[in-house]
Amino acid sequence: MLYIMVWFTIVLFSVLLFRNAAGTLSLSKLNLHSFIFYYSLLVSSYIGSLLIVLNIDQSYIIKKIMFEESREVGFWLVSMAMLLLPLTMVITSRLMGFHPDGEFQKYWNAPLEEIYTEKKSRVDFYRCFVVLASVSLFAVAYTLWKTFPFPLYEAIIGSGSDLAVGRITAKGQISGAGNYLKNIMGIGLTPLLSMVAYAYAVMTREKKWWYWFSVLFIGALLIQLYDLQKAPVLFYFAMFLLLRMWIGKTKLNAFRISALALAGVVYLIGIYTVFGVGGSDLFSYNKGPVGRIILTQVAPMYTYVDRYDEVYPYLQEEGLPPTILKIYGEDPVRSAAKLMADLFPEKVEAGTAGVLNTLYIGELYASFGWFGVILGTVYLGIIIQVLYVLILRLPKHPIFLSLLIFFTVNIPRALVGGFSDLIFNIVWISLTVIILLPLFFISLRDFRITREMVKK
């Protein structure tokens, strides 16, 4: 009973803090903070944590823990994050002079705006866009070619091959520079450019933008589905839905929310059926799609708490992102891979599993314990809030809005996938630079031309 009362109290205060940091948590006005609260924390982490601490989870992962007190420690860690993360955001807002209600509503209700007044600048931007779109579509085609026959193709023709093994194999078939081409220009840039094209099509009503949106939309679907991962295509549709909401083309009500939820459930049931899950497992709270969302996502975090400092020593600096460690010539230790090899060696050997990703708390705890979780949560609160405030204060241009939507969906996804990608994410940094470069160079050229005219 104590844990149930604590759970409801924490959720209540977390709602108040997140709402104060974002401006709203309304489902009809979805934003970065509401995605983090509803998806990353409440649904994917805190509901499962209550089941685990009450010992009614029946999770195959939790059965692997060695010390029962790990259930309580994990619960208190997640509870702390539910409060500390939004509290840090609220404090950051105060320091930046951010007024959540007013500034959010102003941006939400603002129309899309073009930042270029000269026709030449608009034409040059379109040409840059075409180049980027062409490269991204090439990256999609390259990925499909290098991984052929990819799992989606195998599923369509009914080849009878093991799709779970095929999915893992497809990830490892491209390496070196080709891997960067796939991850940055294909998986990352194609969906992002499709949103830019759609926003421009709505704003200008020009056929050329509708054409590019159609082509990029198909490319984005293919790159999200080719290896039959369950979540990416759902998140892509979530980005598209958010974009329509933020430009005023879609307004959510109770009926539409229910219809979207039902569509998501039907899709997940279909995907799980393809992988051989059926019967009562499809609707069980600890198996199938429901169990995957509310339990399997957070359960590995409890194994991190269970093993590290008790069975394994803390990783400390070895748990930092590989990109950073390589600079100093250090070998990284991926706690998610280490745990997967420990808990499920048969899956690793069979090639059906690689890493045991979970809520960011797990990776932080594996590296530095409680201190790491506290410091890392404060860091995330500051970074997320600064990003949110800065974008809301920029013009509502298709590029800036698309970046906001991209981070609104991908930051919450990263939160339940570990911590390393939130310290230094080469894909996010590269995408941001690539998509902003045309704006920067064209604006710089226009500024120089204007300055020279003033001098004359």
Give the Cα separation of 110 and 25 in Å (integer). 19
Q: Which amino acid is present at 254?
A: A
Q: What angle do CA 357, 412, 87 make, to 5 degrees?
A: 110
Can you give the pLDDT at residue 333? 60
Can you give the pLDDT at residue 435? 93
CB 324 within 8 A of CB 424: yes
Give the Cα separation of 385 and 380 in Å (integer). 8
Give the Cα separation of 199 and 202 in Å (integer). 5
The domain limits of the chain are 2-110+278-382, 119-246+425-455
Encode pLDDT of 390-437 as tens digits.
999 999 999 999 999 999 999 999 999 888 888 888 899 999 999 999
CB 197 within 8 A of CB 137: no
Comparing CA positions, the residue from 298, 281, 294, 333 lying closest to residue 416 is 298
Residues in contact with 197: Cβ distance below 8 Å, sequence separation at least 6, in sequence order: 129, 133, 209, 212, 213, 216
Residues in contact with 101: Cβ distance below 8 Å, sequence separation at least 6, in sequence order: 23, 24
Global confidence as pTM: 0.90
Structure tokens at 52: 């685990």
Give the Cα separation of 394 and 407 in Å (integer). 15
Can you give the pLDDT at residue 152? 75
Can you give the pLDDT at residue 168? 60
Can you give the pLDDT at residue 233? 87
Q: What angle do CA 69, 8, 65 make, to 5 degrees?
A: 20
Taking CB atoms within 8 Å and a gap of at least 24, the contacts of 316-320 are 316/367, 316/368, 317/367, 318/367, 319/363, 319/366, 319/367, 319/368, 319/420, 320/367, 320/420, 320/423
Give the Cα separation of 410 and 404 in Å (integer). 10
Can you give the pLDDT at residue 146? 83
Encode pLDDT of 84-127 as tens digits.
999 999 999 999 999 998 999 999 999 999 888 788 889 999 99
Q: Which amino acid is present at 404?
A: L
CB 112 within 8 A of CB 396: yes
Is 312 in a helix, a strand, or coil?
A: strand
Is 308 in a helix, a strand, or coil?
A: strand
Point out the residues of the chain with pLDDT beneath 50.
Answer: none
